[in-house]
Amino acid sequence: MFLRTHSRFRRAATVAVVGACVAVGLAGTAQAAPGIPPKPVAPTAAAAGLRAYLVITAPNTTSGAKTAVATNGGTVFSSYDAIGVIVAHSSAADFATKMRAVSGVQQVGATRTTDVPSQASNPPIPAAPAQTTPTAAETNRVDMTQIGADQAWQVTTGSPSVTVGVLDTGVDDQHYDIKPNFDATKSASCAYGKLDTRAGSWRPQGDHGTHVAGTIAAAKNGKGVVGVAPGVKLASVRIAEDPSGLFFAENTICAFVFAGDQGFKVTNNSYYSDPWLFNCPNNADQAAILEGVKRAAGYAEGKGVLNVAAAGNENYNLASKSNDTTSPNDSTPTTRTITNACLSVPTELPSVLTVSSINSSNAKSSFSNFGTDKVHLAAPGDNVYSTLPGGKYGNLSGTSMASPHVAGVAALLASVNPALTPAELRARLATQADDLACSDSRCAGTTAKNNFFGEGRVDAKEAVGGGTPPTGKVFENTNDVSIPDAGAAVQSPVTVSGVSGNAPATLKVDVNIVHTFRGDLVIDLVAPDGSTYRLKASSTSDSADNVVATYTVNASTEVANGTWNLKVQDTYRSDTGYINSWKLTF
């Protein structure tokens, strides 16, 4: 279930929704009281007793187990052979018992305590929300200034070669602030445990995923909101099912494998895998869930993906577990005794970067989970303002809202250091974090590292260059300009004003161009008087994607004020692209 406010659903209350920049109340929407979750919608059965199972083998040795699934009364619904995980459906009461006796099968476990919903056989495409265009200007929000994102943008807004996957309830790709950075070619649905790449399958089932996406990378376009890394790309992998809204293990497995195969640099995971808040290894079903999701997350990391996750909203010490009263959440919860061996996934998986929530005073949010060596970083999660489906905006609270701040900073760090591995990204984020002192008696550890905030509050400014942003005036154009294939040159203007005298001898020109063969491109800076300065020549041997670079130009003979242009021409056929943004620093 996605992670918002104080309930087992980790839900966030919507304080206000803004459409066309007019605040409106959410009639009929009430905030859940602490510890009392809204009741989930009961899944609709596809057939009496049809259940979903994980059948786990050694990686790349699933063929025998697939045959056994059929002979033991089941069907293979999907398979992730590279990690040795099969998703099987069966109505046979003894299916798991029989499959556990099959040679080569290591584990078998039911992923639900209720039947598979009828939608699994033919999932509907979520409708595209009707859109409202914002009119209000972007403002410096407290969460962004709190982590230094506004200062980081003076150095970089992120690279379009970095993609952040939002594994969530789906994302409104047509939202005014999401559309410029959304990559539909890398988006899909994994609801019900099978990859669905049909157009629109990634769209929202609820508002949660769109809010998360906006915090990560809402476009810096002068209206609405701006995300932590407004220059990177967003992809949506919907894992919430309709109508229940639940995130079962097979969905999570599908999403992590897809993230690795698509080359995401970062994923954000503001949820836990239903139906168990904690999965205990002494239970055969839960042990299989633990193993399957762990393998999938490890597969993604092995492909270069940093997985960031929310810590959860139960105000619970994850390092001192004793009981769980909320599971299973797809049927009737019971009270059970648990130990620290029982884990919330993906939050507590190895190598996942786990984020707790802080308020605007840098104290732990009242709802945020904590725990020694369980929480790695902290970020703002109280009353965060971001995008909502349909061109709207609103405030939500939860560790769900904290985690995407860290995912965004990780994307900025990867933009300026593209060769860093996931382990290196984690290490640098920890080193760069701002220390936070304990805020109440339950907090254990030092200011440098404790169980409330881990290594501290994430720092975007440090991530992009050690806290030394340019000191001169910055003028930027973030409007996309298409570059015709082997066509005429195009220009993107920037109007400079308020700078006395001539331009400097070290004029900085930051260029961010999305293109599938950058060697095709010739790039010039055109001064207000028409003088041109060659920034980049074409090259038939440079087949890499994109131009994300800073050029230094001796423009000391040019008057600073006036309209400058970035001139770009594609000199060869077959590849296309666009100017994403560019800026001048005087």
Q: Would you name the residues annotated as active-site residues? A: 168, 208, 400
561 forms beta bridges with none
Helices (H), 346-398: none
| CB-count burial class (<10 Å; 0-12, 13-18, 19+) for 28 | exposed
Quote the CA–CA distance of 307 and 258 in Å, as a whole number.
13
3-state SS string for 513-548 = EEECCHHHEEEEEECCCCCEEEEECCCCCCCCCCEE
CB 252 within 8 A of CB 217: no
For residue 501, report the phi and psi dihedrals to the nearest 5 degrees: 75, -150
3-state secondary structure of 129: coil
- One-letter amino acid identity for 10? R
Which has the closest alpha carbon to 533: 562, 514, 497, 557? 557
- How are beta strands 85-90 and 188-189 bridged, if at all? unpaired
| CB-count burial class (<10 Å; 0-12, 13-18, 19+) for 340 | middle
For the chain, how big is the Rg over CA atoms in Å? 25
- One-letter amino acid identity for 586? F
320 forms beta bridges with none
507 forms beta bridges with 553
Quote the CA–CA distance of 511 and 491 in Å, as a whole number.
13
3-state SS string for 155-167 = CCCCCCCCEEEEE
Quote the CA–CA distance of 85 and 295 in Å, as a whole number.
9
Report the alpha-carbon angle 400-405-406, nearest 5.
Answer: 100
Which residues fall within 8 angstroms of residue 317, CB to CB, at 6 or more apart? 369, 370, 371, 442, 451
CB 290 within 8 A of CB 347: no
